[in-house]
Amino acid sequence: MRLGSCAITRQDFKCQSSKARRNSKRILEQFTGLSIFHNPVMVREVIQYLAPKDGIILDATLGGGGHSEAILSVLENGFLVGIDLDPAAISYSQSRLVGYKNFRLFNCNFMEMDKVLEKVLILPECQNLRLMGVLFDLGVSLYQIRTPERGFSYQLNGPLDMSFNPFSQIKAIDVLRRSSLPKLEEILREFGEERYYRRIAKAIWLKRQRLSNTKELVNLIESCLLAKPRFIKQKAVQRTFQALRIATNNELDNLFKGLLTALELLSLGGRIVVLAYHSLEDRIVKNTFRLFARQGKLEILTKKPLRPTEKERHKNPYATSARLRAAIKIG
């Protein structure tokens, strides 16, 4: 198939030079596990499938800048754009990437990437460049989990916040207090895939005005399942927190809209790489890629999602659930 002026096939992609493989290995060793803010997952695979060489590369979920630093290290004649809702991520990454000049960071939602791209394209160094790569690394960062004030962790006590943007007007406590009982049931069922969603939702709804922190929520969930084994209680807590986080940040709708925007903005031959961490995210990515592939707009490079190696899972347990999908825009 024709991508711009070059014919590229899946087989061409797989047949990388030994030099490229050595370079990928060096990148993996250099940039994995350095940041206390965020441990970049599957760095080698991200670089291999994103193949950043020139043009504009958009890191739509910047986090601690681990993936962006790896991209900048191999970006020959291009420009990196980083986006994140969390101002702490912007601040940390700005310091981390200070040794590079060809990048710009924006504190906003990745659904605004079209507006960001408009601003970038008027920069003198970007006027002749096209968007050739987009990376999504979904989910919550290690920094956010380990910061009690953000309310993401069920192991650390903090306010019921869970917003990726600390200045957001919508917090998890608002979702709990403003939702009807049927709506709470729907949130836990659809976003948490929780078996005991009715029981937990009713307990939360009855005490919603008195709940104020994560410890109280954990205790309430566990009290609903007193006769259940410990691991079932833990799973229920995890799934409930996941469901509330997704609802607070409107994550799934935003992901779908963000993918559509990215695929529209990508130039022919541009690549998109997505790291998802649970089945709800991965299903949206898979179905969106398949839809565009049926329309002749994408070639999917990952027949099945790639998973972290055993070595990486051992070194970074947070990478265990990661699933990588990648595609090239062809039409």
pLDDT tens-place string over residues 79-98? 999 999 999 999 999 999 99
Single-letter residue type at 226: L
pLDDT at 13 > cutoff 60: no
pLDDT at 9 > cutoff 80: no
Band (pLDDT 50/70/90 cuts) for residue 177 is: very high
Residues 199 and 118 in one domain: no
Residues 235 and 309 in one domain: no
187-196 b/e (C-beta count within 10 Å ≥ 16 → b): bbbebbebeb
Residues 303 and 322 in one domain: yes
| pLDDT value for 76 | 86
Pairing of strands 2-3, 6-7: antiparallel
Residues 117 and 12 in one domain: yes
Nearest alpha-carbon partner for 152 in 35, 59, 66, 241? 241
> Rounded to whole angstroms, what are the CA distances from 5 to 48, 245, 267?
21, 44, 12
End residue of a domain, out of 249, 264, 288: 249
Residue 148 lies in a domain: no
For the chain, what is the domain count?
A: 2
| pLDDT value for 318 | 86
CB 296 within 8 A of CB 330: yes
pLDDT at 162 > cutoff 80: yes
Q: Helix 251-265 to helix 230-249 angle, to the nearest 10 degrees?
A: 50
Residues 135 and 29 in one domain: yes
Nearest alpha-carbon partner for 100 in 86, 81, 84, 113? 81
Alpha-carbon distance of 73 to 31, in angstroms, equals 10
By residue range, what is the domain housing residue 240?
153-249
| pLDDT value for 36 | 52
| pLDDT value for 39 | 76
The model's pLDDT over 307-324, given as tens digits with 9 standing for 90+, comes to 999 999 999 888 999 999
Single-letter residue type at 280: L
Q: How high is the mean pLDDT of the chain?
A: 89
Q: How far is CA 58 from the centre of its chain?
A: 13
Alpha-carbon distance of 241 to 222, in angstroms, equals 13
| pLDDT value for 139 | 86
Alpha-carbon distance of 58 to 105, in angstroms, equals 10
Quick one: tokens of 2?
């024709």
Q: What's the pTM value of the predicted model, to 2 decimals?
A: 0.86
End residue of a domain, out of 210, 231, 249: 249
> Average pLDDT, stretch 285-289?
98
CATH number of the domain residue 187 falls in = 1.10.150.170
End residue of a domain, out of 249, 279, 302: 249
Residues 40 and 86 in one domain: yes
Band (pLDDT 50/70/90 cuts) for residue 37 is: low
